[in-house]
């Protein structure tokens, strides 16, 4: 099954996870710790097949933020350190559960990044670029 392109916010979550240092390589896969530190997602990418046990990938069949973060670290997707650092320390789970609206959460995250010197246009550009790269990658869901 082909994985769908994720909601925009997932690109930002991936950048935040990298800035927080929540990703580590363990033998043949990666472990990505959730923003609250209460879950560990296992990510394995083999060619055009990708596996992750995060909810977006498992239940909604889109490319979850743990996969996006790993692809960025492996140099297969665009990564911007300045934008990543501006998203450090965000409690994504709390924001997503509080607002239950990705567009609203993205607005809040844009303001946080802006306070750290990154404007909305820079963020929008990286998000669009990564989403386009994900479309071209055409990843299959691995079990």
The 10s digit of each residue's pLDDT in 3-52 is 999 999 999 999 999 999 999 999 999 999 999 999 999 999 999 999 99
Q: Is the pLDDT of residue 143 over 90?
A: no
Residue 131's pLDDT band (cuts 50, 70, 90)? very high
Cα 49 to Cα 15, 60, 113, 114, 115: the distances in Å are 21, 16, 32, 36, 38
The string of pLDDT tens digits covering residues 46-70 is 999 999 999 999 999 999 999 999 9
pTM above 0.75, yes or no: yes
The string of pLDDT tens digits covering residues 103-120 is 999 999 999 999 999 999
Are the beta carbons of 31 and 23 closer than 8 angstroms? yes
Q: Say how far apart CA 118 and CA 137 lie, in whole Å.
A: 28
The string of pLDDT tens digits covering residues 65-109 is 999 999 999 999 999 999 999 999 999 999 999 999 999 999 999
The residues, ordered by sequence, that sit 6+ positions from 106 with a Cβ below 8 Å of its Cβ are 8, 9, 12
């Amino acid at each position: 099954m082909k994985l769908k392109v994720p909601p925009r916010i997932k690109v930002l979550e991936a950048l935040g996870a990298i800035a927080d240092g929540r990703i580590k390589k363990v033998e043949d896969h990666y472990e990505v710790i959730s923003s609250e530190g209460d879950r560990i997602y296992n990510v394995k990418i083999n060619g055009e097949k990708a596996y992750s046990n995060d909810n977006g990938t498992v239940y909604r069949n889109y490319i979850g933020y743990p996969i996006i973060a790993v692809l960025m670290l492996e140099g297969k997707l665009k990564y911007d350190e300045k934008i990543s650092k501006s998203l450090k320390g965000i409690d994504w789970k709390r924001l997503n559960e509080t607002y239950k609206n990705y567009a609203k959460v993205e607005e809040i995250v844009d303001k946080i990044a802006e306070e750290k010197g990154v404007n909305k246009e820079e963020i929008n550009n990286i998000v669009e670029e990564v989403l386009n790269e994900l479309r071209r990658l055409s990843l299959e869901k691995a079990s």
